[in-house]
Amino acid sequence: MSLWDVLVSIFWFMILFAWIRLLITIFGDLFRDHELSGWGKALWTLFLIVVPWFGALVYLIARGRSMNERLRAEVQRSQLDFDARVRETAGAATPSTADELAKLADLRDRGTISEQEFQHAKAKVLGRELGPAAPAHADGHTVPSPT
C-alpha cells in the first residue's frame, strides 16, 4: 500500500465522519424543533436517509439560519436555568440577616449569651463593629474588664 493510498483512505474516512457528524447535528435540530409538525419531521428524515448528502445540503440551505436561532435559544435557556440554580443554591447556603438576628435573640432569651454579647454580635451581623465583647462565666455573668 503506497502513501497515496493511505492518504486517500484517510480522506474518505474523514468524509465519512464529517457526514455522520452532520447527520447527528441535523437530526438533533430536526427533533428539537417544536414548530415543525410530525409529518414534516418524517419527510425530512426520509429525505435525509434516501439521499443523504443532497438531503443534508438542502436542509442546511433551507433551514440553516433557523438551526442557528434554535441552538442559540437552547443555549440561552440552559444558561438561565443554570444561573437560577446557582442563585437558588447560593441563597439557600447563606442565611439572611433577619435569620441571624432571630437566632441571636433566641440565644439571649434562653440565657446562653449575655445582653452585651448579644449587642456585640448584633452589631457584627449588621456590619457595625463595637468594642470587644466582655467574656462571660459559665453561669452567664460577665467578667469586668481589667482597666
52: closest CA among 15, 86, 105, 87? 15
Residue 79 has pLDDT above 90, yes or no: yes
The pLDDT value recorded for residue 137 is: 54
Residue 2 has pLDDT above 80, yes or no: yes
The Cα-based distances of 8 to 49, 52, 80, 111, 116 in angstroms read 25, 22, 46, 85, 85
For the chain, give the percent of residues with pLDDT over 70. Answer: 84
Q: How confident is the model at residue 45 (pLDDT cuts 50, 70, 90)?
A: very high
pTM for this entry: 0.52
- DSSP code string of 92-103: HHS--HHHHHHH
**Hey, what amino acid is at 111?**
G
Q: By the 8 A CB rule, do 25 and 15 touch?
A: no
Mean pLDDT value across the chain: 84
Q: How confident is the model at residue 147 (pLDDT cuts 50, 70, 90)?
A: very low
Counting beta carbons within 10 angstroms of the beta carbon of residue 36, is it exposed (0 to 12), middle (13 to 18) or buried (19 or more)? middle
Q: What is the pLDDT of residues 82-132, one digit of tens each?
A: 998 988 887 666 677 888 888 889 899 988 888 998 898 888 888 876 555
Q: By the 8 A CB rule, do 145 and 134 touch?
A: yes
Q: What is the pLDDT of residues 60-74, one digit of tens each?
A: 999 988 888 888 988
